[in-house]
Amino acid sequence: MNNYETVFIATPVLSDQQAQEVFGKFQGVITENGGQIVNKEDWGLKKLAYPIQKKTTGFYYFIEFTGEGDIVETLETQFRRDERVIRFLTFKQDKYAVEYSEKRRRKLAGKTEPVNETVKEEE
């Protein structure tokens, strides 16, 4: 099993519900084809570095997953077929990228926990 990372940008004209539907669809493509999702993040609506299809913003989504090599072909075919996706990038992680991702997840988990505790204390 290989480790992969994919980031895709959905068109900004979608409602929040439609954007979440797109995110769920591609998570489903991964799991249906024998992959296992390690981490997923919704980065929200961000400004693009340059206009794509006359759009200056887009919904960014990030998914880390493990699976066999043919899962990437299937996933990218689905990205190309879905007109709601304006850009995507998938790459295989080497051992250093996997270590970095694990450290990053631990760091993010550590940051979110104290914030939640602070909120609970104030309520």
Give pLDDT tens digits along the chain (123 positions).
899 999 999 999 998 899 999 999 999 999 999 999 999 999 999 999 999 999 999 999 999 999 988 999 999 999 999 999 999 999 999 989 989 999 988 888 887 654 444 444 444
The gap between the terminal CA atoms of the chain, to the nearest Å, is: 45
Instruction: Specify the pLDDT at position 122.
Output: 45
* Tokens at 51, concatenated: 């206009």
**What is the pTM assigned to this prediction?**
0.82
Measuring CA to CA, which residue among 40, 10, 23 is closest to residue 108? 40
